[in-house]
Amino acid sequence: AEFGPRGAEEILGAVLTHHKPNDAADSCVTMILKDADRLAGLGPDTLIRTGQFFPGKPVFVPGYVGIVSPGTYKDPGSALDDIMYMLEWALGERWWERPREQLREYAQEHMWFRLPRAREMAWERAQFLLTYIDAVRADLASSGLEPWPL
């Protein structure tokens, strides 16, 4: 397909700015690219990619499974924290402080995704990652390590 100079310029602009926070001035192309990039980050392979990007980090920090240990999105305390931060895209900022039964309503208001199908897909992908986090907690609990004896 031919995009023409204006279309090519819009695509280039989207590629160069899709890493930035959402902006009301984002073009449709930019919104699509931002949503697609974030959806890719929420796929099941994120469990492996996180380990690749943070090979020096522990898998989790005892006492912080299901909540975030000290750190930031760019420098998480563990691989599990990286996943927790990525889930903010689908579930909203500091989603782990919300009761699970209120999470869907909170997510609908606070998720970063803007296009309807991307919002549905983000919620679905988040459920897989939440199940994984719950499984880690359950595994630790069966060994007497969750909650962590501080």
User: CA 4, CA 41: separation in Å to the nearest integer?
Assistant: 31
pTM for the complete prediction?
0.90
- Cα separation of 113 and 36, whole Å? 9
Residues in the chain, pLDDT under 70: 1-2, 150
pLDDT, residue 1, reads 58
Q: For 142, phi and psi rounded to 5 degrees?
A: -65, -20
pLDDT value at residue 47? 95
Q: Residue 8: its pLDDT value, please?
A: 87
